[in-house]
């Protein structure tokens, strides 16, 4: 089972569970890389790779160049490639896990992995010294060994692979910079380990929560040597490629910056934009870990409507930010709000009208073409501000489920200007909204009929304080000390996270 929006406890049920502080977000379109060429050969027969990952885009049977999403690999760039000089581990374009050489697929799971809201813990044990052929490659997902494969082949006993060789080693791709390679991962990675020359059990990195039965991280405290080329990557800001194992096997980063280090982790899962629900791919393009939506092209009678990957809780007060801006021309509509996912609200894949026109919605319509911001409720404007002349605005949504109220606002220069003279902290002048168990956060972009005016939005549920490097993070947490928001969180409101 995937590690989605579940309650976090340690295996003993205490509140002292191990916390992972950050993850690294990989946007495949940016060609992000972590590379290293070892000066000394390690053990090419035996190693263990462990990582937590959260996917953004899926393969779904697409083309090899964009839809293989590898987590690690190695490749020799000279001579004729073969199984001993090319190695890849990650997601196949049909969304199975794959362990691959140059000409041999050693393992391809029957199971597919398409939950883009979930963190998966993956462990690959590779040991060709094993006399029993099927024991030479073992794959574990959330502590459980995968045993059902559409393809299963075994390297010969004592076979050497490219991992730990003195050739390019890669995290988040294969280091195959030729043809349609290098097949970058698209998503998030955290707590990533390589043990050169050792087989390490999944139980060294994770454990089963005694109350939820979910697989959760635990701190590695084992005594196994990392070996010559082993590493431990925390992906910390300012030290993204730094090896924390003590080996000093640092990786060089390309097209990765501190703004790609986010608070979304296996121990505090945040929402993203839901890539699993049908949406109009002509209008909407997802980037930056499914937090950035770009309006792409006009589609007659359709709009770029999308939902967050978490359904709202049935109680509580929650705060969300969104950067809305002009992507092309004079801008266009960007929207953020709450909608029922039913007959009175936005029914995915209904793209036939802007979300604010549905009777079951309450939210913000910010129009940088007309320079206006509107609070919409049930299809009608309750309040409008004019004269918004900037090319981008930080916008905000405050949700009080207990009292059936919603506030929306935009960047007033030093704080959020709440429409309808609202004040979430005091509970005044919130728009009435009837929440139910299917209420969700929606967001939308739009393109003009001549394709010249397009909007973009970038979401921050608390994990993306720089709005994907568009802004300098404000460093504002909620009252529980969680999140990184541009503006101060209204008193009593929280980041929407696990």
Judge contact between 108 and 92, C-beta under 8 A: yes
Q: Assign 204 to helix, strand or coil.
A: helix
| Of 394, 347, 353, 359, nearest in space to 373 by CA | 394
Chain Cα centroid distance, residue 375: 29
Cα(31)–Cα(184) distance, integer angstroms: 7
Strand 439-445 relative to strand 392-400: parallel, antiparallel, unpaired?
unpaired
Residue 244 and residue 99 share a domain: yes
What DSSP string describes 118-145?
-BEEEEEEEETT-SSGGGSEEEEETTEE
Residue 213 and residue 322 share a domain: no
Close Cβ partners of 2 (under 8 Å, ≥ 6 residues apart):
113, 115, 118, 119, 120, 142
What DSSP string describes 13-71?
S-S-------EEEE-GGG--EEEE--SS---SSEEEEEEEEEESS--TT--HHHH-EEE
pLDDT at 277: 75
Domain end among 228, 262, 296: 262
Q: Does any domain span residue 273?
A: no
Judge contact between 286 and 273, C-beta under 8 A: yes
Please state the domain count of the chain.
2
Residue 254 and residue 366 share a domain: no
The pair phi, psi for residue 255, each rounded to 5°, is: 60, 35
User: At 405, which CATH number?
Assistant: 2.60.120.920
User: At 226, which CATH number?
Assistant: 2.60.120.200
Structural domain span for residue 444: 284-495
Q: Does any domain span residue 295?
A: yes
Residue 327 and residue 252 share a domain: no
Residue 110 and residue 178 share a domain: yes
Residue 247 and residue 376 share a domain: no
| Of 160, 159, 229, nearest in space to 193 by CA | 229
Measured CA distances, 26 to 120, 183, 372 (Å): 16, 12, 34
Q: Does any domain span residue 18?
A: no
Q: Which residues pair with 322 in a beta bridge?
A: 395, 459
Residue 316 and residue 242 share a domain: no
In this structure, what token pair is assigned to residue 308? 């967050």
Q: Does any domain span residue 111?
A: yes
Q: Does any domain span residue 240?
A: yes
Q: Assign 87 to helix, strand or coil.
A: strand
Measured CA distances, 496 to 121, 310, 317, 338 (Å): 23, 9, 9, 14
Q: Where are the beta strands (DSSP E) in 234-303?
A: 252-254, 261-262, 284-287, 292-295
| Of 203, 197, 194, 235, nearest in space to 221 by CA | 203
Q: Assign 116 to helix, strand or coil.
A: coil
Chain Cα centroid distance, residue 258: 15
Domain end among 262, 293, 318: 262
pLDDT at 465: 93
pLDDT at 347: 54
What DSSP string describes 307-375?
EEEEEPPSSSEEEEEEEEEEEETT--EEEEEEEESSTTS--TT--SS-GGGSTTEEEEEEETTTTEEEE
Residue 187 and residue 92 share a domain: yes
Q: Assign 419 to helix, strand or coil.
A: helix
Cα(75)–Cα(81) distance, integer angstroms: 8
Judge contact between 455 and 475, C-beta under 8 A: no
Cα(438)–Cα(483) distance, integer angstroms: 25
Residue 381 and residue 317 share a domain: yes
Collect contacts of 143-150 with beta carbons under 8 A, ≥24 apart. Answer: 143/202, 143/203, 143/206, 143/207, 143/208, 143/215, 144/215, 146/97, 146/107, 146/109, 146/111, 148/109, 148/110, 148/111, 149/107, 149/108, 149/109, 149/110, 150/96, 150/108, 150/109, 150/110
Whose structure tokens read 């080693």? 169
Cα(407)–Cα(404) distance, integer angstroms: 11
Q: Does any domain span residue 11?
A: no
Q: Does any domain span residue 14?
A: no
Q: What radius of gyration, in Å, describes the C-alpha atoms of the chain?
A: 24
pLDDT, block means (10 residues), the chain with 498 residues: 34 64 96 97 98 92 76 86 94 94 96 95 98 98 98 97 97 90 94 98 96 94 96 97 97 96 97 83 89 91 84 94 95 90 56 78 94 93 95 97 97 94 97 89 91 95 94 94 96 94
| Of 36, 378, 50, 14, nearest in space to 198 by CA | 50
Cα(380)–Cα(371) distance, integer angstroms: 18
Residue 32 and residue 119 share a domain: yes
Judge contact between 215 and 206, C-beta under 8 A: yes
In this structure, the number of other CB atoms found within 10 A of the CB of residue 9 comes to 17
Domain end among 230, 262, 294: 262
Judge contact between 244 and 232, C-beta under 8 A: yes
Residue 295 and residue 249 share a domain: no
Q: Is the dihedral of CA 93, 187, 144, 240 positive or negative?
A: positive
Residue 171 and residue 299 share a domain: no
| Of 315, 313, 461, nearest in space to 6 by CA | 313
Q: Does any domain span residue 267?
A: no
């Amino acid at each position: 089972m995937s590690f989605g929006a579940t309650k976090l406890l340690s295996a003993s049920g205490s509140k002292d569970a191990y916390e992972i502080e950050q993850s690294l977000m990989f946007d495949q379109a940016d060609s992000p890389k972590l590379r290293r060429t070892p000066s000394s050969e390690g053990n090419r027969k035996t190693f263990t790779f462990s990582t937590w990952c959260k996917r953004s885009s899926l393969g779904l049977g697409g083309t090899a160049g964009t839809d293989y999403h590898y987590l690690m690999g190695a490749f020799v760039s000279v001579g004729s490639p073969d199984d001993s000089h090319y190695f890849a581990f990650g997601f196949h374009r049909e969304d199975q896990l794959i362990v691959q050489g140059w000409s041999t697929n050693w393992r391809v799971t029957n199971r597919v992995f398409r939950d883009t809201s979930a963190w998966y813990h993956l462990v690959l044990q590779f040991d060709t010294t094993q006399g029993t052929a099927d024991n030479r490659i073992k794959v574990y997902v959330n502590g459980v060994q995968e045993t059902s494969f559409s393809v299963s082949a075994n390297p010969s006993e004592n076979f050497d692979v490219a991992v730990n060789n003195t050739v390019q080693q890669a995290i988040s791709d294969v280091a195959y910079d030729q043809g349609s390679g290098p097949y970058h991962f698209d998503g998030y990675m955290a707590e990533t380990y390589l043990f050169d020359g050792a087989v390490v059990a999944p139980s060294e990195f994770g454990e089963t929560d005694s109350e939820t039965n979910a697989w959760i991280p635990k701190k590695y405290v084992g005594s196994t040597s990392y070996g010559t080329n082993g590493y431990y990557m925390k992906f910390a800001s300012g030290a993204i490629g730094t090896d924390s194992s003590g080996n000093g096997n640092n990786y060089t980063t390309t097209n990765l910056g501190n703004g790609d280090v986010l608070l979304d982790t296996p121990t505090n899962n945040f929402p993203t934009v839901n890539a699993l629900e049908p949406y109009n791919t002509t209008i909407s393009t997802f980037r930056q870990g499914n937090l950035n939506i770009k309006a792409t092209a006009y589609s007659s009678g359709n709009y770029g409507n999308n939902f967050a990957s978490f359904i709202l809780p049935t109680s509580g007060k929650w705060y969300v930010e969104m950067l809305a801006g002009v992507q092309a021309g004079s801008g266009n509509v960007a929207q953020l709000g709450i909608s029922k996912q039913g007959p009175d609200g936005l029914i995915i894949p209904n793209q036939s009208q802007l979300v604010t026109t549905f009777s079951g919605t309450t939210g913000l319509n910010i129009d940088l073409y007309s320079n206006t911001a509107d609070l919409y409720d049930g299809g009608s404007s309750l309040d409008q501000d004019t004269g918004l002349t900037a090319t981008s605005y930080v916008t905000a949504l405050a949700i009080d489920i207990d009292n059936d109220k919603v506030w929306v606002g935009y960047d007033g220069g030093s704080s959020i200007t709440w429409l309808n003279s609202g004040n979430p902290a005091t509970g005044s002048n919130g728009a009435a909204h009837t929440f139910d168990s299917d209420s969700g956060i929606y967001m939308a972009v739009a393109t003009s009929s001549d394709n010249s005016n397009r909007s973009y939005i970038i979401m921050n549920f608390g994990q993306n304080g720089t709005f994907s490097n568009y802004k300098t993070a404000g460093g504002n947490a909620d009252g529980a000390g969680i999140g990184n928001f541009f503006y101060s969180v209204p008193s009593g409101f929280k980041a929407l996270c696990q």
